[in-house]
Structure 1
Amino acid sequence: MTEPSGASSDKPRRPVVVPAIALVAFTAVGITALLGGLSEAADEPEPLGQGAVLDQGLYSTRFVESRVAVERAKTQFDEDKRFVELVFDVTNQGDETFSVGLPADKIEQAFTSNAFAASLLNISPAFDKEAGPFAYALAKGGQTRQLQPGMASQVIVRYELKDNERPPDRISMDVASFELEPEFGSNIPVWKMVAEEVGDKWIPEVKARVTLTVKKGDTA
């Protein structure tokens, strides 16, 4: 007798075999969806340390070290001063002279500058306003605030420590980069900091996150 259509069968159902690679793919898709999609996943800044070299577009920068330096008193009426210094070897890769500059007080202010030190964002731990920063490049004649095209210069960014203030064990900073873009109202390319428009502000994009151990020696 023919079994009615749709009737249940006592025969055991054969298990459906799903390849392991398919399960991995399904899991990956699920995780990607949970994170908001591949296109929306934010890239973490490149972590760098002492001795690393970063191509910032306008500048090629080697992160030499961070250290405590002492400036000895010149007279008996003066006092020794201590500084935390950030030391960089910076090559100006442009075709004109640019400024050493200073780190900006606020990250949204950095975008307006193409000076080297303006690309040093979110320096942590933060120092008091009275501490600086002070910045300059070393030249044969002493100190300069200019970076000549095609030349490598050692740049010092320093913060003064208060009496009995302990220097930090390490310093971290976010570093921005630059790219050539047509100047507003003309087709002349100029170096501008890479940034993203957020509301009515331009926020620099972080190219790398650098952490340097502060060398204290016998001066801390």
Structure 2
Amino acid sequence: MTEPSGGSSDTPRRPVVVPAIALTAFTAVGITALLGGLREAPEEPEALGPGAVIDQGQFTTKVVESRVTVERAQNRFEEDKRFVDVVFDVKNNGDETVPVGVPPQKIESAFTLASFAGSLVKIDPVFPKDAGPYVFARSKGDESRQLHPGITSQVVLRYRLKDTEQPPQKISLDVAAFEWEPDFNNVTPRWKMVATEVGDKWLPDIKARVTLSVKEGDAA
């Protein structure tokens, strides 16, 4: 019987060698394409502590401290009250008086706020809702809920502790910033929180991450 043209089918075939580095590159490109292309990893926010100064655009903010504050009872029928305070020195760089404000309940709603406390977009640990926060400013001995232009005021972010509750050892805050630019439907510029559109949400860009040890209590 005559063998078919082309030689015997039993002739072994030489394996094709693909370098490992090529496989790795191919896999990486494939995964990148699957995830929607090359993207830059977001930068970690600047880590800050006591004494640091943050340029927030609308505000220049000095981080002072975190401490337990004790408010003494006024009579024998009352009890002492204890608070965790976070203290800042804040200068309003704008031309108008603005509210001190309160931190946002959800980070995705923060970008609509234009107050100082509105820029404190994440606080860890999370305090119970009935603990506060209560935010106020002190300037020349007076307590206020406003920040006047060109003036530096002490701003206190305050949470109340329950009678048997121990304060946290540390408290951490993610701080956003503001920029002076036109509004969506108005060419007149205003201070707006710096944020990035992610899907159907606007999430604030984190300017700095502040971590403070909570000091022992002092009388208010």
TM interval, short-chain normalised: 0.7 to 0.9
- Count of equivalent residues: 189
Alignment-derived partner of residue 167 in structure 2: 167
The one-character-per-residue Cα deviations of 1:134-173 (angstroms, maximum 9, x if unpaired) are 0000133521011011110000000000111110111001
Q: Distance in 1 between matches of 2:213 and 2:81?
A: 21
**TM-score if structure 1 supplies the norm length?**
0.80
Summarize the alignment of residues 24-103 of structure 1 with structure 2, pairs less than 5 Å apart: 40-103=40-103
Matched, 1:123 2:130: no
The one-character-per-residue Cα deviations of 1:106-154 (angstroms, maximum 9, x if unpaired) are 1112111110001112100110000000000013352101101111000
Q: CA offset at residue 217 of structure 1?
A: 4.7
The one-character-per-residue Cα deviations of 1:66-103 (angstroms, maximum 9, x if unpaired) are 00000111222211100000000000011111110001
Q: Distance in 1 between matches of 2:115 and 2:130?
A: 22
Q: Distance in 1 between matches of 2:218 and 2:108?
A: 38
Q: CA offset at residue 197 of structure 1?
A: 1.3
Q: CA offset at residue 38 of structure 1?
A: 8.6
Q: Distance in 2 between matches of 1:185 and 1:207?
A: 26
Q: Which runs of 5+ in 2 are unaligned?
A: 1-24
Summarize the alignment of residues 177-216 of structure 1 with structure 2, pairs less than 5 Å apart: 177-216=177-216
**TM-score if structure 2 supplies the norm length?**
0.80
Q: Distance in 2 between matches of 1:141 and 1:66?
A: 20
Alignment-derived partner of residue 110 in structure 2: 110
What's the secondary structure of 2:187's corresponding residue? coil
One-letter amino acid matched to 1:192: K
Q: Distance in 2 between matches of 1:215 and 1:119?
A: 24
One-letter amino acid matched to 1:86: V
Q: Distance in 1 between matches of 2:131 and 2:207?
A: 26
Q: Distance in 2 between matches of 1:216 and 1:121?
A: 26
RMSD over aligned CA atoms reads 2.2
Contact 2:68 2:218 in 1 (8 A): no
One-letter amino acid matched to 1:76: R
One-letter amino acid matched to 1:47: A
Q: Distance in 1 between matches of 2:139 and 2:63?
A: 18
Q: CA offset at residue 199 of structure 1?
A: 2.1
Q: Distance in 2 between matches of 1:149 and 1:47?
A: 28
One-letter amino acid matched to 2:167: P
**Percent identity over the alignment?**
61
Higher percent of residues as strand? 2
Question: After TM superposition, where is structure 1 displaced by more than 4 Å over at least 4 residues in a row?
Answer: 36-39
Contact 2:139 2:152 in 1 (8 A): no
